[in-house]
Structure 1
C-alpha cells in the first residue's frame, strides 16, 4: 500500500490553478481581534444547509463551515490535505482508499464521530431518494450503479473496518476521487439528527465543523456561532457571523461604507463598480479575482423546440456576448465553450458559434421555424441578472424568438432548472458554474452527464449523451500526472464535441468574482474568494 497515487492527484490539482491561487501570507501586523462577530448580507434567503443537497455559491460557504470531511483544502489553497482523516493510504492500482479517522471528533450534538457515519453520509448522498445534485461525483465507488438504480440500499464499496477505519473500493482508478471527498456532498452527518429532522435537515443541520447554526428566521437572518469543540487548532478566527437576508446589493454597499456590514455577499452591482474602483473611500474594500467560472444559458434538450439541435445552434449564434459583457463593465471575457480559459483542457483553437443573426435565422428555417417561436427564460432577480436576461431577450427577438423572462429568487431558479420540462432556458448568471475543484471533469459530471440529468440536479439542459459517458469515464481514469497531457486533451475534445454537435448550452462569458468587504476585515484576498468555497468562513477575521 502506498499514498503515492494520492500525492500525485493532489499535486496535479494544485498545479492546475497555481497561477490562480497565491500562497496564503501571514501578516504579523494583521492579527485577529478576539471575540469578533461579523455581518454578511444577501438579497435572497438560503435554500438549504443540507450538505447533500445545497449546491449554489450562496449556501456553499456556510455548509462548508458547518460540516467536516475526510479530506479538505487549507484556507485559500487547492492543495488536498487530511481533515477528519488522520492518515490514509491508496493501493498501487489506485482502486482502494483506506482512511484512519482522527480521535476525539464530536458532532455538535455531543456524539463522537465514527466510521459508520462516513459510510452513512456517502450512501445518503448517492441514494436517489435524497435527490442530491452531487451523487454523480461518487460514480466510481463499487455498488454505485446498483444503488442509484434501486437494486441496492447500500454501497458495497464503502466498508467500515472499525470505528476509526473506513475503506473505499472503486470500480476503476479515479484521479479526482480525493477531490470528490473534499466536496460538501461528502460531509459527515449523524443519522439520528437526519432522522429527527423529518426531512428538514437542511433547516436543522448538525455537523462537526467550525460553526453551529443557532438561529434561522426565514426571510430575515441566519445566526452562526463558533463551535467550541472544533478539532482544527486556532479555527475559526471569529466567534460568529450573522447573515442578514433581504438586503438589496446597493443598500448593502451603503451600509458597508458606514461600517454596519462586513461582507456584501451579492457582490458589487455594475452600476456601483466603477465608482467604487475610482473612489479612495472604498480603497482596500474590493476583492477582485479570476476564477474557474463559466456563465451560460441552458437549453432544455428534452422540450420542444430545443430537442432540435439546429434550434440550439441557432440561438447560440443569436447572442451578442460583447454587448452583454459591457453590462457588467467588462468584468469578463466572452465564452465559446463549456470550460473556462484557465482550466486544463480548454481548447484555445476552438472558436465556437460566431454571432451571426442571418445564419441563425437560416438554421431556424431549416428546423421548420422560419417564423420563430415563443419560450421562457429563467433568471435570478438580483442585479445585473435581469438586465442581462433582457439583453438575451432582445438578441433572441432579432431572430424571431419571443422569450418571456421569469426573474425569480435564486432557490426558485435552481428548482425550475432541476425540474424536468419546466425551464426551457435558464440564464445561469449569478449561479454560473464555478469549479468545485480544479479539474475539467468537474464541468462534466455534475452539469452535463447522464447521472446529473435527474430531479434536483444541476444539469438544467437535461442533456444525456450515452455515447459520451464511456469516454468521460475513461478520461477520469487516466492517472495524474503521468497521463495529464493525454487526459486534458481528451477532456478538451469531449467538451468541444458536445458544444459543436449537440449545443446544450449557450456559453456567454467567463466572469471575474468581485466581493466588497469592510475595512476592518483582515487577511489575503483568497479567503474571500476561495478556490473551493467562495468565502472561507473558517479563516476570515477582524483586524485587531
Structure 2
C-alpha cells in the first residue's frame, strides 16, 4: 500500500514539474486600462475610455477606418441628397446581435430614439437633435421622429432639418451604436450588441473579459479572448509588460526614451498619432487677457519647442486649434518664440513692469511638471504666474464660471473633422466656449458655413481661415498635439495605428504562441 501511494505521489510531482516547465501560453490578448469604464450603455458614452471599450461589443451604421475615412459597417452603402439633408442607408443582410436575432433598420431607429428619449437621461442627445422631428419627440409633442423612416428591414432614411456635413461622422461615434432593444434592461451586465467581441465578465475595478464573436458578419478577431486589467499606476503597467503579463503597453511620457533604447523591445516601439490639442485657456473678458496684445505676449514668451522636445516626446507644435492632418495644409504658420516682442507688447498695453496672474490645473495632472517649466519663461519677461492646483470637480466648476484667468486643459476629437475643433470650443453660443469668454461674430459665421458645406475646397478654405483668425486673436496659449508611444512583445503581430479613439478593435492583433 505504501509503495502504491509513493508511486502516486511521484507521478503527481512529475506532472507538477512538467507543468511548470511547459505551462501552456495564456490564450488571447492581455491589455490594460488606467481606470475602469463607466459602463456599456452607448447613450451614456461620454468619455474616451468607455467609448473605446464599447466599440468592441457594438457595431454602428458606419465606422472610422485607420485614418479619417469612414467605412461601411451595418450599412453596406449610403447616399446623400443634393440638398445635403436626406441620407438613405442600405442595411447589410446577415448581421446578427450576440443573441442570434437579426439586425434590421428598426433596430437603428430604436437605438437613436432611446438616446433622444428624456427617460434615458442621455447627455448625448445633442448628436441627434438635427434629425427632423427630434426636438418634438424630446418635448413629448410627437410619439415618433419624423426624420427617421424605415422603408423595410434593409432600408432606412434619415432626414435632417438643415444640411450638416459632420452628421455622417456622428454615426460612427460610440453613442450611435446599434443596440438590441430586447436586452436593454441588462445592458451593463450583458451588452446587447452585435460587435466582434462578446463580454464574458466585467469585474468592476478589476478586469473586463471578452471572447471572440464566432458569428460576426465581418472580419473577426484573430485571437479567441481579450482581457483588460485595471492598473491605475503607470509604472506598474510598465513592470507588468516587462514581466510578460501584458501584450501591449502605452508608454508613460517620462519613460519613452528608456523604452526606445530597450535591448529587447526598442524596435517594437511605435508612435500613435491622436487628434487632440493641449492648451492654456485665457479669460478674454477681464484684464489683463481682454487685451489681445497681452494674450500674444503670453504665447510669444513661451519656448514651446524646447518644452515639447524635453517634456512631451512625439508631440507636434500647435498652429491654432486644428491638428495639421485636419487642416489639410503642410506649411502652417506657427507662433514663434520671441520674448523681446512679448516685452514690447506688454509695454504698449500698460504693463512695463510685468504682471501677476494665476494658472489653474485640475486634479493630479500628469503634465504638472510641464506647467512648472512654463513659469520660468514667463518670469523672464516679468509675468509672474502662480499655479493653482485643485480637485478636478472644483476645477471644472471654476472654469465653467469664468473664475480662473488661465487654465490648463486638452481636447480630444469626437470625430475626425476640423469642425470638431471649432464649434464646440469657439462658437460663441456654445457652452464650452464660455470658458474663454471669447466671442467673434465673423468666426461664428464662418463656423456655421463650415457645418453646412459639403467636404471640398471651399470648406477647407474656410477651416484654414477660421484657424488663422484664432491664431491672430489667440484666445488660448496654443501648445501642442500630443500622441502616444505603444510597444508590443515580439510575439505579437498585426498592430495597426488608428487615428480616431474608437476605431481600434484589436481585430488584427495576433500572438504567435496564442
Q: Do they fold alike, i.e. is TM over 0.5?
A: yes
Q: String of CA shifts for 1:367-394, please: whole Å, max 9, x gaps.
A: x997524452226644xx2322333455
Alignment of 1:20-59 (within 5 A): 36-59=27-50
In the alignment, which residue of structure 1 is the partner of 2:480? 509
Which of residues 251, 276, 294 is equivalent to 1:268? 251
Q: 1:217 to 1:274 in 2, by over 3 A?
A: same
TM-score, normalised on structure 2? 0.78
Distance 1:419 1:217, change over 3 A: farther
What is residue 386 of structure 2 aligned with on the other side?
A: 402
CA RMSD of aligned residues (A): 4.1
Partner residue of 2:63?
72
Partner of 2:327, secondary structure, is coil
Q: Which residue of 2 aligns with 1:230?
A: 216
CA distance in structure 1 between the aligned counterparts of 2:44 and 2:197, rounded to whole angstroms:
19
In the alignment, is residue 427 of structure 1 matched against residue 376 of structure 2? no
- C-alpha contact 2:32 2:230 (8 A) present in aligned 1: yes
Aligned to 1:391: 373
| Cα 1:323–1:420 shift into 2, 3 Å | same
Q: Name the structure 1 match of 2:396.
A: 416
1:335 is the counterpart of 2:326: no
Q: Are residues 1:219 and 2:205 paired?
A: yes
Taking the aligned partners of 2:32 and 2:131, their CA distance within structure 1 comes to 39
Does the alignment pair 1:186 with 2:165?
A: no
Are the aligned partners of 2:400 and 2:434 in contact in 1 as well (CA < 8 Å)?
A: no
**Secondary structure at the residue paired with 2:156?**
strand
Paired with 1:505 and 1:405, the residues of 2 have a C-alpha distance of 19
**CA–CA distance in 2 between the matches of 1:85 and 1:147?**
25
1:236 shift after superposition: 1.9
Asked whether 1:287 is paired with 2:258, we answer: no
- Aligned to 2:89, what secondary structure does the other structure show? strand
Indicate if the aligned counterparts of 1:333 and 1:509 stay in contact, CA closer than 8 A: yes
Give the 3 Å change call, closer, same or farther, for CA 129–488 of structure 1 in structure 2: farther
Q: CA deviation at 1:489?
A: 1.1
SS at match of 1:400: strand
- Does structure 1 conserve the Cα–Cα contact (< 8 Å) formed by 2:173 and 2:502? no
Matched with 2:309 is 326
Seen in structure 2, the aligned counterparts of structure 1 residues 347 and 88 have a Cα distance that, compared at 3 Å, is: closer
Once residues 461 and 132 of structure 1 are traced to their aligned partners in structure 2, the CA distance between those partners, rounded to angstroms, is 26
Question: Pairwise mapping of residues 238-249 of structure 1 onto structure 2 (< 5 A)?
Answer: 238-249=223-234
Alpha-carbon spacing, 1:418–1:489, altered in 2? closer, same or farther (3 Å): farther
Per-residue CA distance 1:177-231 (angstroms, 9 max, x = gap): 333322223211344544x36xxx6676432212233333333222223234432
CA distance in 2, matches of 1:131, 1:462: 29
What per-residue deviation string (whole Å, max 9, x for no partner) do you get for residues 479-509 of structure 1? 34xxx222111111112223433x4432201
1:102 CA drift (Å): 2.5
Residue in 2 that maps onto 1:63:
54
How far has the Cα of 1:167 moved from its partner? 0.6
SS for the counterpart of 1:492 is helix
Closer/same/farther in 2, CA of residues 78 and 271 from structure 1, 3 Å limit: closer
Distance 2:69 2:138 in 1: 31
SS at 1:237's partner residue?
A: coil
Give aligned pairs, total.
484
**Residues 257, 518 of structure 1: 8 Å contact kept:** no
Partner of 1:442: 420
**Structure 1 residue corresponding to 2:448, chosen from 468, 473, 481:** 473
Q: In the alignment, is the contact (CA less than 8 A) between 1:210 and 1:236 conserved in 2?
A: yes
C-alpha distance in structure 1 between counterparts of 2:364 and 2:143, whole Å: 37
Residues 337 and 155 of structure 1: CA distance in aligned 2, closer, same or farther (over 3 Å): farther
The structure with the larger Rg is 2
Residue 492 of structure 1: aligned partner: 464
Deviation at 1:125, TM superposition (A): 4.4
| Structure 1 residues 34-86: Cα deviation after superposition (integer angstroms, max 9, x where no partner) | 99322212333334443344354433322222211111245x35443321123
Give the structure with the higher percent helix.
2
5 Å-filtered alignment, 1:330-369, equals: 330-346=313-329, 348=331, 350-352=333-335, 356=339, 358=343
Relative to 1, partners in 2 of residues 1:174 and 1:327: Cα closer, same or farther, differing over 3 Å? Answer: same
1:301 deviates by 6.3
SS state at 2:461 partner: helix
Q: Classify the secondary structure of the residue corresponding to 2:221.
A: coil
Shift of residue 365, structure 1, vs aligned partner: 5.4
CA distance in 1, matches of 2:338, 2:408: 18
CA contact (8 A) 2:48 2:501 kept: no
TM-score normalised by length of structure 1: 0.74
Specify whether residues 491 and 149 from structure 1 end up closer, same or farther in structure 2 by C-alpha distance, changes over 3 A only. Answer: farther
Q: Is the 8 A contact 2:131 2:159 kept in 1?
A: yes
The 8 Å contact of residues 67 and 499 in structure 2, kept in 1 or not, is answered as yes
Give the unaligned 5+ runs of structure 2: 1-23
Residue of structure 2 aligned with 1:164, choices 154, 162, 165: 154
Structure 1 gaps, min length 5: 1-32
